[in-house]
């Protein structure tokens, strides 16, 4: 590069990094993956090292990045919160190179003893400084630009892991530094709830943690599932001169009940660093939170002080990276997948990219609302994330790289012409739901496994012996396409299946034959109509008496049934409006599945009518299912949980938390003898 080209490139990098810093630190909306940012930052550092005359005080390389938001009060750090050097060579050589640099700076020869290090996880969250005076938390501040951060005390106080007061002889002033983060499972649950409510989701756990802390309303931060790990100290404290090692600091912080991650290890020399990096890399996916590497620190404080700092980084510490979990790629197409429950999920077909330790060519877009909110279109350049066992997902679009011909925003119904891409049945989206669904439940090949297992379950047709492994063989082998095909199975076909044999096959055939005699309620429930559970199926059977009457009912008629509202009514009419489902129902009847009509007559008025019962523990004279059927025949309702609306709790042997809840709420409790006596008086 010519000198003019170097000047232009440095100016370009500074402008680009400053822009990315703004979106990441100020707006909490990252525009590029960490790996891309790190690459640009290293390029700038290298050019400035090669041309020191071009280095300036306002360069991003001279600061950590970001600036205080106007909405928060600035906090001047007593000790700057400097970043540490990143070792981007993810092989063993990265650890070996760091140890070599440390030994060289300390003037150690090959014959000298190995250097002792503390190895920690590199958490992917937001760095925070906590200040305690006289053992009381008085201030929490973000890193900011390293010199000045933001006062976020009100939000930090919502994190229950962080103690407000320290006990046990703590110094008069103590600054603790650590990372606010989100667990992956908490992050997924939070986003799922947001999708159900039609609200914006978080981009990733790191962005969720940073965005939560930078909220003016602490109530919002309190609703976010934030966690905290401590990893060191800020301002040197009076009266704590005895500390000799970093590990001693962590142990003392642990004793003061700060959350310290116990994956940290004290190791000896380069080999110890290598082994730690390998071990954590192997278990990275099993950790409940995101990390993007590990951190090595010289353990002895005396040696840290001797090594000192260079530019903005300590010589005695380094971050050793793992493969990036976010990368940039291009969307070639958007496919629609049909799940086992009929849910339609848009999936981005990607230019293959190596991310999170594997090559990714597909990434979920979750649903239509998410796809439109992120405005993902075919041809877009997108950020793809894969962490642990989480399904790869598109987390954002690089808008400034969008081609001119990307077309209109994504429209799932229009793209599919209103039909399931697998079976051609109508697709519907219930009011308040985020997902479109296929209505061809009994017929749709994508839903066969789920439909078959539900049909055969104990509370449906009760076909004992038909479990997941067998159902998988029947469906994958093309032996069963719909539940009606179960009643055509023969001994020769079943006996040849894996782990079956003649005896198991005979038992299954007997169970299938026995299931032909059932009840209308069980049959309705077995059909797997969306939103129709066991209790609703019984209400429908009592109200209509005949299957034909239910199949012909419109939404208005259905809503005359207790507890059936517009959503359930829509699900039922959508199910029976599909000719495929009607054909399966007819086939089941033709194969001999039958029940006593007019089941509503079996329910009679009694003192139990309308009463709510909860069954808990083990009954000696009957099963809980039998007790439930007796109560429902007498007009009672049986609930799975105790509340203020519960009238009676029937407690058998080894009753647990439900009995405790009943006592707590003052709900009447019946033992088995009292329950039987009550039944006899009806």
- Residues carrying an active site annotation: 122
Distance of CA 385 to CAs 19, 360, 672, Å?
21, 9, 55
User: Would you give the DSSP letter of residue 277?
Assistant: H
What percent of the chain is helix, strand and coil (3-state, nearest 5)? Answer: 40, 20, 40
Q: Counting beta carbons within 10 angstroms of the beta carbon of residue 314, is it exposed (0 to 12), middle (13 to 18) or buried (19 or more)? A: middle
Three-class SS state of 59: coil
Going by C-alpha positions, the residue among 153, 160, 106 that lies closest to residue 128 is: 153
CB 438 within 8 A of CB 423: yes
Complete DSSP assignment for 66-85:
----TTS-EEE-SS-----E
| Alpha-carbon gap, residue 534 to 262, rounded angstroms | 46
Distance of CA 205 to CAs 74, 364, 461, 651, Å?
25, 17, 43, 43
Distance of CA 453 to CAs 148, 422, 467, 470, 527, Å?
60, 20, 7, 10, 11
Three-class SS state of 368: helix
Runs of H (alpha helix) within 483-565: 491-495, 501-515, 520-526, 534-544, 547-552, 555-558
Three-class SS state of 305: helix
| Alpha-carbon gap, residue 429 to 450, rounded angstroms | 20
What values do phi and psi take at 5, rounded to 5?
-65, -40
CB 635 within 8 A of CB 608: yes
Q: Which residues, in sequence order, are CB contacts of 608 under 8 Å at separation 6+?
A: 631, 634, 635, 636, 682
């Amino acid at each position: 590069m010519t000198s003019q080209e170097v000047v232009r490139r440095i100016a370009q990098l500074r402008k680009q990094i400053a822009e990315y810093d703004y979106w990441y630190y100020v707006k909490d909306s990252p525009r590029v993956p960490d790996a891309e940012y790190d690459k640009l930052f290293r390029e700038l550092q290298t050019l400035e090292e090669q041309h020191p005359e071009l280095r300036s005080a306002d360069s991003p390389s001279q600061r950590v990045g970001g600036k205080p938001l106007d909405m928060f009060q600035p906090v001047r750090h007593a000790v700057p919160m400097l970043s540490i050097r990143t070792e981007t060579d993810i092989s063993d050589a990265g650890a070996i190179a760091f140890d070599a640099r440390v030994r060289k700076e300390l003037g150690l020869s090959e014959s000298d003893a190995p250097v002792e290090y503390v190895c920690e996880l590199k958490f992917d969250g937001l760095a925070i400084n906590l200040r305690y005076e006289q053992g009381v938390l008085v201030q929490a501040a973000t890193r900011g630009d390293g010199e000045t951060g933001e006062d976020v005390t009100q939000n930090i106080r919502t994190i229950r892991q962080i103690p407000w007061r320290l006990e046990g002889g703590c110094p008069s002033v103590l600054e603790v530094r650590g990372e606010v983060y989100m667990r992956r499972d908490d992050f997924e649950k939070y986003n799922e709830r947001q999708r159900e409510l039609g609200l914006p989701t978080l981009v990733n756990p790191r962005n969720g943690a940073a965005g939560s802390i930078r909220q003016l309303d602490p109530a919002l931060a309190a609703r976010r599932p934030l966690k905290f790990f401590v990893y060191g100290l800020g301002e040197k404290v009076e009266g704590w001169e005895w500390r000799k090692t970093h590990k001693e600091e962590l142990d003392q912080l642990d004793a003061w009940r700060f959350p310290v991650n116990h994956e940290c290890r004290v190791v000896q020399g380069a080999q110890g660093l290598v082994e730690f990096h390998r071990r954590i890399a192997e278990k990275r996916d099993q950790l409940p939170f995101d990390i993007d590497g590990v951190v090595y620190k010289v353990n002895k404080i005396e040696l840290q002080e001797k090594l000192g700092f260079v530019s903005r980084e300590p010589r005695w510490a380094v971050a050793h990276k793992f493969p990036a979990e976010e990368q940039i790629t291009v969307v070639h197409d958007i496919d629609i997948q049909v799940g086992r429950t009929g849910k339609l999920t848009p999936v981005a077909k990607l230019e293959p990219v190596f991310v999170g330790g594997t090559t990714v060519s597909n990434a979920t877009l979750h649903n239509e609302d998410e796809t439109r909110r992120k405005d993902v279109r075919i041809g877009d350049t997108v950020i793809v994330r894969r962490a642990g066992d989480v399904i790869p997902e598109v987390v954002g679009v690089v808008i400034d790289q969008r081609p001119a011909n990307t077309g209109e925003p994504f429209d799932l119904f229009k793209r599919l012409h209103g039909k399931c891409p697998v079976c051609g049945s109508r697709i519907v989206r219930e009011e308040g739901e985020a997902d479109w669904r296929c209505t061809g439940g009994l017929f749709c090949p994508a839903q066969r496994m789920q439909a078959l297992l539900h049909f055969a379950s104990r509370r449906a047709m009760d076909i004992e012996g038909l479990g997941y492994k067998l159902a998988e063989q029947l469906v994958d082998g093309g032996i069963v396409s719909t539940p009606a095909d179960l009643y055509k199975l023969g001994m020769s076909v079943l006996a040849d299946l894996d782990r079956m044999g003649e005896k198991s096959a005979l038992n299954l055939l007997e169970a299938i034959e026995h299931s032909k005699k059932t009840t209308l309620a069980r049959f309705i429930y077995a059909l797997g109509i969306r939103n129709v559970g066991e209790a609703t199926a019984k209400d429908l059977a009592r109200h209509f008496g005949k299957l034909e009457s239910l199949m012909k009912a419109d939404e208005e008629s259905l809503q005359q049934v207790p507890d059936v509202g517009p959503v359930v009514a829509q699900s039922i009419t959508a199910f029976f409006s599909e000719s495929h489902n009607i054909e399966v129902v007819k086939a089941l009847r033709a194969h001999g599945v039958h029940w006593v009509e007019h089941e509503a007559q079996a329910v009679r008025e009694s003192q139990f009518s309308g009463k709510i019962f909860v069954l808990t523990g083990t009954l000696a004279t009957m099963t809980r299912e039998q007790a439930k059927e007796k109560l429902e025949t007498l007009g009672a309702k049986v609930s799975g949980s105790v509340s203020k609306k519960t009238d009676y709790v029937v407690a058998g042997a080894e009753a647990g938390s439900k009995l405790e809840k009943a006592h707590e709420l003052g709900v009447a409790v019946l033992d088995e003898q009292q329950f039987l006596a009550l039944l006899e008086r009806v």
